[in-house]
Amino acid sequence: MTDTAKTDEETADEIRVLVFSIKDTWFGIIIDQLAEIKDLKDQAASGEGVSHFHELVSFSGPPPEYRSPHLLYIKGAEKSSGIVIEQPDSILEITPANISPLPEMIKRTNPDMPAWGVAMIDTRLILLVDANRFT
């Protein structure tokens, strides 16, 4: 076994996750599901095919203000469609030991929820979202 193969084997279970927050709730999307991330800077965060993340996950209450909007393009989705998120906080490597499934009561009361698990990083709970559910 070569050193490279050994390294691949050791890290096979880890996932690389793009982490961002909206209204104090943390979300993570597996990097491999993303085709591109674009900083919108002063560009309008709207247009045909563009959805805001808070709408896709059904946030309650008044809509959040996106201070530094970024546009995500999901692999396999149409090129013209994108999802607006707040500026990404970090990219984390998360091991399965730090991931829990969603509690049964959340799954039963919110079957359309695109989250598939919860990562526990320090004191943060990060809802891991399956981006393929948006395509």
Regarding beta strands 50-52 and 82-85, do their DSSP bridges make them parallel or antiparallel, or are they unpaired? Answer: parallel
Segment interacting with other proteins (CB under 8 A) among 1-9, 72-80, 88-96, 112-120: 112-120
Q: What's the rounded Cα separation, in Å, for the pair 73 and 66?
A: 17
Q: What's the rounded Cα separation, in Å, for the pair 132 and 100?
A: 20
3 binds other proteins (CB under 8 A): no
Nearest to 66 by CA among 42, 84, 82, 91: 84
CB nearer other proteins, residue 35 or residue 120: 120
Among 46, 95, 110, 132, contact with other proteins (rule: CB under 8 A)? 110
Among 13, 87, 95, 125, contact with other proteins (rule: CB under 8 A)? 125
Q: In what order do the strands lie in the sheet with 50-52?
A: 34-39, 70-74, 82-85, 50-52
CB nearer other proteins, residue 2 or residue 109: 109
Q: What's the rounded Cα separation, in Å, for the pair 92 and 28?
A: 9
Which residues from 22-61 bind other proteins, rule CB under 8 A? Answer: 23-25, 54, 57-60
In angstroms, give the least distance from the CB of 88 to other proteins: 18
Contacts with other proteins by CB under 8 A lie at: 23-25, 54, 57-60, 100-106, 108-110, 112-113, 115, 118, 120, 125, 127
